[in-house]
Amino acid sequence: DPLVSDSELQEMSNQGSKYINKEIQNAVKGVKEIKNLIEKTNEERKTLLTTLEKAKKKKEDALEETKDSELKLKALPQVCNETMMALWEECKPCLKQTCMKFYARVCRSGSGLVGRQLEEFLNQSSPAYFWMNGDRIDSLLESDRQQTHVLDAMQDSFNRVSGIMDTLFQDRFFTQEPQDTHYFSRFGLLLRWPHFLYPKSRLVR
């Protein structure tokens, strides 16, 4: 537009550059904001870990109590054996048929081996295992094992990340608070680490 003079273009450029410069300083602040968010998330994680450890203790106490009850029950003479064995002989074929039908329909892979394995498993199992909910107890113990594995693996990751972040955030790039965003030290050009924000007093000294 011929109406816009060179001096006006220059003034617009200056204004635009001022804005860009502000945004540049915001970009540096943005790094610090993310750092603060990482530290905040890490504090929340540590609090959550404490809660997890308490919950794990309660869960494992309950599991111990369950296993104790199961042991005491197993120690008692079985008084309903005949009844249970009779029922078991009729339960097994139904269970096998139901399971193999499910497996063929849903799991879509060879059921020959699985069928023999199941036959062996049922012949080795006793109705008392059922009657004492042995399957539910074993399922809980399996969950406990998996949960322990998952937490250990997550902890391993977090410990390594926390160590690296602690080292990174100790650098003065992060620890110096800007006294005034216009006082960016040109000293930064000479130093290995970008400690470009110094309080004025440091500059005077």
Partner 1 sequence: SILPLSPFGSLGFHDDMFQPFFEMIHQAQEAMEPHFHRPAFQPLGKDFTKEVPDNRTVCKEIRRNSTGCLRMKDQCEKCREILSVDCSANNPAQAKLRQELNDSLQVAELLTQKYNELLQSYQRKMFSTSSLLNQLNDQFSWVSRLANLTQGDDQAYLHVSTVSTHNSDSDTPSGATEVVVKLFDSDPITVIMPEEVSRDNPKFMDTVAEKALQEYRKKNRE
Please give the residues from 70 up to 129 whose contact with partner 1 meets the rule CB under 8 A.
Answer: 70, 72-73, 76-77, 79-80, 83-84, 87-88, 90-91, 94-96, 98-99, 102-103, 106-107, 109, 114, 117-118, 121-122, 127
Give the SS3 label for residue 182.
coil
Q: Which of 124, 145, 146 lies closest to 134 in space, CA to CA?
A: 124
What backbone phi and psi angles, to 5 degrees, belong to 197? -110, 115
If one asks whether residue 205 binds partner 1 (CB under 8 A), the answer comes out as no
What backbone phi and psi angles, to 5 degrees, belong to 179? -70, -45
Q: How far is the CB of 50 from partner 1 (least distance, A)?
A: 11
Report the half-sphere exposure of 20 (CA within 13 A, side-chain side). 6
Q: How far is the CB of 81 from partner 1 (least distance, A)?
A: 10
If one asks whether residue 151 binds partner 1 (CB under 8 A), the answer comes out as yes
For the window 29-58, what string marks contact with partner 1 as x by the rule CB under 8 A?
-xx--xx-xx--xx-xx--xx-xx--xx-x
Q: How far is the CB of 177 from partner 1 (least distance, A)?
A: 15
Q: Which residue has the tokens 């009729």?
A: 90
> Which residue, 28 or 199, is less far from partner 1 as judged by CB?
28
Q: How far is the CB of 36 from partner 1 (least distance, A)?
A: 10
Of the candidates 177, 179, 185, 205, which one interacts with partner 1 according to CB under 8 A?
Answer: 185
Of the candidates 112, 123, 171, 175, which one interacts with partner 1 according to CB under 8 A?
Answer: 171
Q: How far is the CB of 199 from partner 1 (least distance, A)?
A: 13
Token pair for 137: 């107890």
If one asks whether residue 66 binds partner 1 (CB under 8 A), the answer comes out as yes
Token pair for 203: 């500059």
Q: Give dist(CA 91, CA 84) in Å, integer.
A: 10
Of the candidates 130, 176, 179, 199, which one interacts with partner 1 according to CB under 8 A?
Answer: 130
If one asks whether residue 175 binds partner 1 (CB under 8 A), the answer comes out as no
Q: How far is the CB of 164 from partner 1 (least distance, A)?
A: 4
Q: Are 28 and 184 spatial neighbours (Cβ–Cβ below 8 Å)?
A: no
> Binding residues for partner 1, how many (CB under 8 A)?
114
Q: What is the dihedral of CA 144, 149, 154, 160, to 10 degrees?
A: 140
Token pair for 205: 């000294």
